[in-house]
Chain A
Amino acid sequence: MSNTSHEVAQGPHHNSGAASTALSAHSIDKKFPGVLANDSVDFDVRAGEVHTLLGENGAGKSTLAAVLCGLYQPDAGYLMRNGKRISLSSPRAGLQHGIAMVHQHFRLVERFTVSENVILGSRDLPFRLNRRELNEKVAAVAESYGLPIDPDATVGDLSVGQRQRVEIVKALYQGAEILLLDEPTAVLVPSEVEKLFENVHAMTAAGKSIVFISHKLGEVVEISDRVTVLRNGRVTGHVPGRGTADTKELARLMVGRDIELNAQRATHATGHEVLQIRNLSLSVNDVSVLTDISFNVHAGEMVGIAGVAGNGQRELADTIAGLISPTSGSVTISGSMTTDRGPVQAREVGLAYVPEDRLGMGLVPSMSILDNLLLTRDRQVVVDRISVRPEAARLIEQFEIKANGPDHLARKLSGGNAQKGLLARELSGGRGATKLLVVCSPTRGLDVGAIETVRRLLNDARSSGQAILLISEDLDEVLSLSDRVLVLYRGAVVHETAGETAQLSQVGAAMAGLSGGGR
């Protein structure tokens, strides 16, 4: 999440100042048990503009979006569409007023074709569908906004970016004038984000309104005509967008204090090799997942692994952590061969592992913080919780975990606190002092405040001489934190560069499998 924005062809867009208000919300209140998710929120979007809702997780963005599209009914306040007061009893009613939401988690039937998904939920369909005519209509809608898609393709075979396109085409096909995009870039790679932004410009050029929901500052500044910032259910600021917005200012409105996201890369001498990977290959069911990977990570060094999800990152991490036995090659952690020795052995020589799936793999949700601390440690036949309790209390304090004490259940921690808890356990060692930390997507889904803390913790660990392997789909994160960056594509390292000199475009191209330079 750096200020360096993605290079995007600026599409034509309307001068939003002149356009009329398409949809507005007035003093919206929405309560849930124990929370006031929206507290007299005002919001409006004009025809042909991109108006962004910016806020941390839990700030009330999604709630407001749900109210705007008819999924929720507000407890107080009302909506106006083209100057007329409307009340939406369901998303279908919202659609009748031309309002559609593209959810973060797609609502598509994987076994259906694109066309079938597009007409899903439409009423008044003929008993017998004319597929050719339908496909032509779907294709025509898609083409007109620069969203090329094969109407006959099965959704299950499509990439994430393409599925998102299907969702957008579906909304447009159903006659949406106002599209609410809920965290649309969360699942996309840089090139797909670029493409999405082009589509957004095409849509606004055609007079559609876009409500863009995000917590990523860089892209918000890039895409928005206007920005409305939410915090704790309240509007904390209306800010003009593109060109004029300042990420620092936006971050302050969002979090309520100044934050420093671009943790300084510490420059210091690195030590001996802690992790050595030699010719590592892995095949699962005769499909090659990792191919001949070799690299080292030194003490006090952070090596980043960039790549699009599903290119072998998880398998690489699991293999280093001793969970998977490689087909060939070796893993050595601080001088000891740990290949095929299992996770306990790997931990004994200094491995710590923060998996991508933090609640459910890294932490046991129904267990207390105390019991979770014991997960990767030596346990006696009769588990000794009494002597571990003070340590748990100390870690909660040291890592600033918001919890009621060691008995707080892991599933009741917020995402950020769960991650801090997981890092606390892994960094504090257990079976042996931590020498190597493998972290996967450490800040995914976290709010800005927690991201800052997690990145600081990683930097601190590096400064204290631990070797860190950072595996993340967030390219900005990998580039801004790592001393060296490796790009994983189809299970092979296709690009290697120093962190400081890394070129976003080069790394992005390598992630997409377009170039193999640098190695």
Chain B
Amino acid sequence: MLRIPFRVVFEQRGETARRLSLLVPLASVLAALFFGALFLLATGYSPIDTYINMFRDGFASFNGITDTLALSTVLICTGISAAFAFQMNLYNIGGEGQLYLGLIGGAWAGIALGDHLPTLLMVPVVLLCGAFAGAAWIFVPAFVRSRLGTSEIVSTLLLTYIGASLIKHVIYTPGSFFRNPNTSFPQGRLVADSASLDSFGSSRLYPTFFVALVIAGALYWVVKRTEFGYRINVIADSPKAAYYAGIHANRTTMWVMLISGALSGLAGAMLIVGPYGKIEPSIITLGYGYAGIVVAALARNNLGLIIVSGILFSGLKVGGNNLQVTTDTPIHIGVMLQGAILLFALGGEAFRRYHIHVVRVHDVSTKKVAA
């Protein structure tokens, strides 16, 4: 029998050095760029030029950076939606569906309330309606999870498909309340003017970006400083300790999931008051809700880092997607690079958490016994 004389040993690090927390992500990105360069070279594109273009289109031009921040507005919201639930080991995978409902809820308020309210009041109402619709969409999964322990992964995910059908239904059904009555094309009905915000100057960036920042900051504060956040931390770490201290895990689970759903719904409503102004059926192809899961993973569910990871991820998307427009690089190269960078960034976690070394087989001591 052939014996390989070396073996790779993963040894868990006792404590992650602060230096590594910075070094590993940086090295991951460099490794991803190197990996992408191999493909670019193989397909006949200059890696350096491509990367410069991507960076310029994502961050270093007026249109680039404003588009990036515009996209991050939505992704920060879906990102904190995911991270807020994940940190309590509640896997709300259905942010996507809650976002659809936010779109519907926001559009309903924007159309039904007409021009009766001033913009300053109307926009918050639209946002709240979207958030409420998102929370309503997760209510049943939250309820059965907190009372019966039913897997929220499955229930929230499946509801996303129903949400997508609902979007199609309200747009494609003739005579639908949400459908534009003035054209035979299946289009969404525009919300009242008072429910629409103007973007900054010639950009596509809307003031909702700052709402997203404030909400991210507020939730961070809630988790770090309040009694509610304290409960979340206790339950997340040890449900038995919560039980011991008389903390009701059911109630907290319910609230955390509802808030998570509301945040995804809010992201949908932000699209209503911002760029869309109506229900845009193509939303079901964009995957903003799912992207929130990636944003949360990049930030390691740390609410304080969601803003950073949301903006970086958006820049990567915007820069990669623009490659085809500004150069002759096909969009697939951009998508491949996005994937590579994410894969390496998340895979780099292994190096941060484990000490990895290659040893000769006869030295291997894989089992650890308490000294």
Contact = CB atoms under 8 A, between A and B. Distances in A.
Contacts of B225: 382-383
Contact of A361 (B228, B240, B362, B363): B240
A353 B227 CA distance: 22
A60 interface: yes
Interface string A335-376: 000000011100100000101010011111111000100111
A32 B363 CA distance: 14
Contacts of B367: 71
Given A89-B362, A355-B244, A382 B227 contact: yes
Contacts of B363: 73
B371 A381 contact: no
A361 B371 contact: no
Contact of B227 (A71, A367, A381): A381
A392 B240 CA distance: 23
B370 interface: yes
B244 A366 contact: no
A385 to B, nearest CB: 8
Given A344-B246, A375-B245, A364 B234 contact: yes
Contacts of A33: 14
Nearest to B226: A382
Contacts of B371: 32, 35, 37, 58, 60, 62-63
B245 A343 contact: yes
A367 B245 CA distance: 14
A381 B362 CA distance: 58
Contacts, number: 83
Given A367-B234, A382-B226, A375 B241 contact: yes
Chain B interface extent, by class: 20 to 34
B369 A71 contact: yes
A355 B244 CA distance: 9
A236 to B, nearest CB: 16
A72 interface: yes
A361 B226 contact: no
A34 interface: yes
B35 interface: no
A376 B369 contact: no
A496 B369 CA distance: 41
Interface in A228-263: none
B241 A371 contact: no
B238 A365 contact: yes
A450 interface: no
Contacts of B229: 383
A26 interface: no
B247 to A, nearest CB: 9
B62 interface: no
A379 B230 contact: yes
Contacts of B246: 322, 342-344, 347
A481 B111 CA distance: 75
B233 interface: yes
Contacts of B198: none
Nearest to A33: B14
A343 B243 CA distance: 9
A488 interface: no
B237 interface: yes
A371 B238 CA distance: 14
Contact of B241 (A34, A89, A364, A380): A364
A340 to B, nearest CB: 13
Contacts of B228: 381
A361 B244 contact: yes
A72 B234 contact: no
30 contacts: A58-B370, A58-B371, A62-B370, A62-B371, A63-B369, A63-B371, A71-B369, A73-B363, A89-B362, A322-B246, A342-B246, A347-B246, A355-B244, A360-B238, A360-B240, A361-B240, A361-B243, A362-B244, A363-B241, A364-B241, A366-B237, A375-B241, A375-B244, A380-B227, A381-B227, A382-B225, A382-B226, A382-B227, A383-B227, A383-B230
Interface of A: 32-35, 37, 57-58, 60, 62-63, 65-66, 71-73, 89, 321-323, 342-344, 347, 353, 355, 357, 360-367, 371, 374-376, 379-383
Given A34-B14, A364-B234, 19 more contacts: A62-B371, A71-B365, A71-B367, A73-B362, A323-B243, A343-B246, A355-B244, A357-B240, A360-B240, A361-B244, A365-B237, A365-B238, A366-B233, A367-B237, A371-B230, A380-B227, A381-B227, A381-B228, A383-B225
Q: Which 10 pairs across A and B sit closest by C-beta, in order of nearness?
A: A343-B246, A37-B371, A344-B246, A361-B240, A63-B371, A66-B369, A366-B237, A379-B227, A364-B241, A375-B245
